[in-house]
Structure 1
Amino acid sequence: MSAPTVTDLRAYVLRGGGADYHDQDGPHWIDDHIATPMARYPGYRESRQSFGLNVLGTLVVVAEASDGSSGFAVTTGGEPAAWIVEKHLSRFVLGAAVTDLSRIWDQMYSSTLFYGRKGLVLNAISGVDLALWDLLGHVRAEPVYAMIGGAVRDEQPCYATGARPDLAVELGFLGGKLPLHHGPAEGADGFTANLRLLAEMRATMGPDAWLAYDCWMSLDVDYAIRLAHAAAEHGLRWIEEPVPPDDYWGHAAIRKALPPGMLLATGEHEATRWGFRLLAEMGCADILQPDVGWCGGLTELLRISTLADAHGLLVVPHGSSVYSYHFAFAQHNSPFSEFLMMAPAADRVVPMFHPQLLGEPVPEHGRLRIGQLDAPGFGVTLNPDLALARPYRRG
């Protein structure tokens, strides 16, 4: 029996928190004086929104098939990515069999090489790819994790990213990852403040809970090494994305210089198997952190995972909620997952992509259960009350 074909592909834009989780109104820990590459400029130090981190908004991709099935996905990219989907990528999707995921991915990627390869174009490709996986799951009446090999465990433990790892431990998470607040431009006082906060959290959390620092591309090699060694006494489990993502040499130098037992994690802002091949072969990381909504979608994430496994590396995707949960449950080298604490004070568990997704699973006592993912596709629906805008149309 021939597979249904894709009959429609549409791209919408949303504003407000959700897939673009930096697009928050009001006070929120995620926008509270966090070290960034822009922090060298005092005027952009207090808020990441001040330099435009939330300007794109959320991209919503909807795919429909000839049998009446539909699928969708959300990621970042907003209006520019919507243009790419409607005006360029749609030609490789419409009329294709819903099972032709590898061919569609290769055509989308190969056709955009002259202006893509990473960043916004890969966000758009990821959105289309995830929507097609969701569509295929509805055609087959299967959850995505079952279509990529099935679950290798019944529960998935999680750590929490947010301003209060101490509260995350109380909620049952493995531990927490703090955003680094002060970078090199804030000198010795900032360095001391970073360590002070780490010490306070360790004292509250106890000796066994995981504690990590997310440096969000904001450091130089010297600062990162000094921070890691100074933080060792507080049991820092890993240091994350210490230098800009294109500085593979810097990541490798930092990893070699880390104190015994401390790991280096990175890859949130990397894309495709070729980018992660550089990270793996240059010895840049112990934990790879692709975001399935940015790295090329699930089709490419599976390739990245195979590459990482051959190098003995863990793959712990950045955020991305249900889109990474289905992946992680089916992978032996993804033994735990990240959960972004999207409550403004990081003091309670709320769905990561709220209000955009309905039925979005959240960890209970710090763990996800495979039964939470048993609906077709990615198992979530798009909130019908959202103010979707379709800025471009094919043709």
Structure 2
Amino acid sequence: MCARRGRCRSVVIPFPKIVAVRAFTARGGGADYHDQGAGHWIDDHIATPMARYPEYRASRQSFGINVLGTLVVELEASDGTVGFAVTTGGEPAAFIVERHLSRFLIGQNPADFERIWDQMYFSTQYYGRKGLVVNAISAVDLALWDLLGKLRQEPVYHLLGGAVRDELQFYATGARPDIARDLGFIGGKLPLHHGPAEGDEGLKKNVALLADMRARCGDDFWLMYDCWMALDVDYATRLAHACHAHGLKWIEEAISPDDYWGYAELKRNVPKGMLVTCGEHEATRWGFRMLLEMDCCDIIQPDVGWCGGITELIKISALADARGKLVVPHGSSVYSYHFVVTRHNSPFAEFLMMHPGPTEVVPMFAPQLLGEPVPHNGRIKVSALDKPGFGVELNPDVPLHRPYSN
């Protein structure tokens, strides 16, 4: 309606506020992708820090890698719109969300994600900072972005500034990079099977497996080793040099994520042209600042469900970009896809081959997510991400348990 002097009055429609916070747990596959049945490649004698104990060497589940299960966080707005996200954390993280973090969410505008993140992080700093607590914060943050996208009827990648390329291209993580090559992926990352406790014989087996896969895949296909924090600097250095003749592109997360000094030494020690990557189990801008300022790696690999969510990944990526480093997030399905497609320093993405073989491309977080896009010929078109929010829904056939309430 216009006033007499020709000025128009604008009507501001209040943005929906958050009215409910719910945290659930789920078992089997999904976001806790280690929670798999027997015979899955992801639990087949993979080197770990626990491999120094023979009784925990053959299976990661034997020492409890899957005890937490999946965390599901739902945020409901006053108009009935629900945003959600999944990560690991299970019941302990559900407690943190319901009994602690919910106070910073109820009655708040979901667009105020910076203030909400700041309050969640600094209110938990005395018992958090990394690990389980930041997993919980990440789930809430991702649910906020999902809710915001749904309220604005835009995909999250639009909210992040829009796509800088027309498609995502992927490398595959799994036990069969030769099959990944046939499926159109740009590279294959193998799990390392033998660590220092298995001596020189184990080292020879690691090199032999890489040599076999190089013969199967040819010279123009990337091959990498995921060492899952299992090694020390000496073993990692020897492994890198022994694998150099077989074209190992990078050595990933070779040592403890807290050993920044060891990573800096390893980066100096590896053969020229080989990359050192890490950061899957790092968290927040401060942890990644250490990796970057100490020149620990060539590529950082934050998991958006563990490092602090999208809100924190924006800051982590900016730190890396200013130093000319690549950001290639660990796994995390649609939650990383929407980010990677908006950043020039994230030129490709990881796809976890969650088929037991793995001989087929299946949704990474199945069965918990519906509508999860998967690569075709190693690529996903940006148009596959065009639904509001992160573009996925919870599978109603997957049982959810709400152990606490706020």
TM-score bucket (shorter structure): over 0.9
Matched, 1:137 2:170: no
The corresponding residue for 2:347 is 335
**1:319 aligned to 320, 323, 331, which one?**
331
Matched, 1:7 2:6: no
Match for 2:116: what amino acid?
A: I
Percent identity for Structure 1 against Structure 2: 70
The corresponding residue for 2:307 is 295
In 2: Cα distance, 1:330 partner to 1:196 partner: 39
Q: CA deviation at 1:368?
A: 1.1
The corresponding residue for 1:67 is 79
**2:386 aligned to 368, 374, 388, which one?**
374
Q: Write the deviation string for residues 262-295 of structure 1: whole angstroms up to 9, x where unpaired.
A: 0001000000000000000000010000000000
Match for 1:365: what amino acid?
A: N
**2:167 aligned to 151, 155, 162, which one?**
155
**How many residues align structurally?**
394
The corresponding residue for 1:358 is 370
The corresponding residue for 1:90 is 102
Give the secondary-structure state (helix, strand or coil) at the position aligned to 2:225: strand
In 2: Cα distance, 1:143 partner to 1:291 partner: 20
- Residues 124-273 of structure 1: matches in 2 within 5 Å? 124-273=136-285
In 2: Cα distance, 1:369 partner to 1:259 partner: 36
The corresponding residue for 2:296 is 284
The corresponding residue for 2:9 is none
In 1: Cα distance, 2:121 partner to 2:350 partner: 27
Give the secondary-structure state (helix, strand or coil) at the position aligned to 2:127: coil
Q: CA deviation at 1:299?
A: 0.4
Give the secondary-structure state (helix, strand or coil) at the position aligned to 1:3: coil
**2:130 aligned to 118, 121, 133, which one?**
118
In 2: Cα distance, 1:304 partner to 1:175 partner: 25
The corresponding residue for 2:400 is 388
Match for 1:323: what amino acid?
A: Y
In 1: Cα distance, 2:15 partner to 2:315 partner: 24
Matched, 1:56 2:58: no
Give the secondary-structure state (helix, strand or coil) at the position aligned to 1:285: coil
The corresponding residue for 2:322 is 310
Q: CA deviation at 1:346?
A: 1.1
In 2: Cα distance, 1:98 partner to 1:47 partner: 41
Give the secondary-structure state (helix, strand or coil) at the position aligned to 2:380: strand
Match for 1:319: what amino acid?
A: G
The corresponding residue for 1:25 is 37
The corresponding residue for 1:347 is 359
Q: CA deviation at 1:359?
A: 0.2
Q: CA deviation at 1:25?
A: 1.2
In 1: Cα distance, 2:106 partner to 2:405 partner: 14
In 2: Cα distance, 1:258 partner to 1:37 partner: 21
In 2: Cα distance, 1:229 partner to 1:26 partner: 34
Give the secondary-structure state (helix, strand or coil) at the position aligned to 1:213: strand
Give the secondary-structure state (helix, strand or coil) at the position aligned to 1:131: helix
Give the secondary-structure state (helix, strand or coil) at the position aligned to 1:234: coil
The corresponding residue for 2:49 is 37
Q: CA deviation at 1:26?
A: 1.9
In 1: Cα distance, 2:102 partner to 2:203 partner: 48
In 2: Cα distance, 1:194 partner to 1:386 partner: 38
Match for 1:63: what amino acid?
A: L
Q: Write the deviation string for residues 65-119 of structure 1: whole angstroms up to 9, x where unpaired.
A: 0122111000000000000000000000110011110000000000000000000
Q: Write the deviation string for residues 223-256 of structure 1: whole angstroms up to 9, x where unpaired.
A: 0001001100000000000000000000000001
**2:117 aligned to 105, 109, 112, which one?**
105
The corresponding residue for 2:6 is none
Over the aligned positions, Cα root-mean-square deviation in angstroms equals 0.5
In 2: Cα distance, 1:25 partner to 1:63 partner: 31
Q: TM-score, normalised by structure 1?
A: 0.99
In 2: Cα distance, 1:255 partner to 1:3 partner: 49
Q: CA deviation at 1:144?
A: 0.1
In 1: Cα distance, 2:356 partner to 2:320 partner: 34
Q: CA deviation at 1:297?
A: 0.4
In 2: Cα distance, 1:303 partner to 1:175 partner: 28
Match for 2:86: what amino acid?
A: V
In 1: Cα distance, 2:111 partner to 2:387 partner: 19
Give the secondary-structure state (helix, strand or coil) at the position aligned to 1:237: strand
In 2: Cα distance, 1:334 partner to 1:9 partner: 32
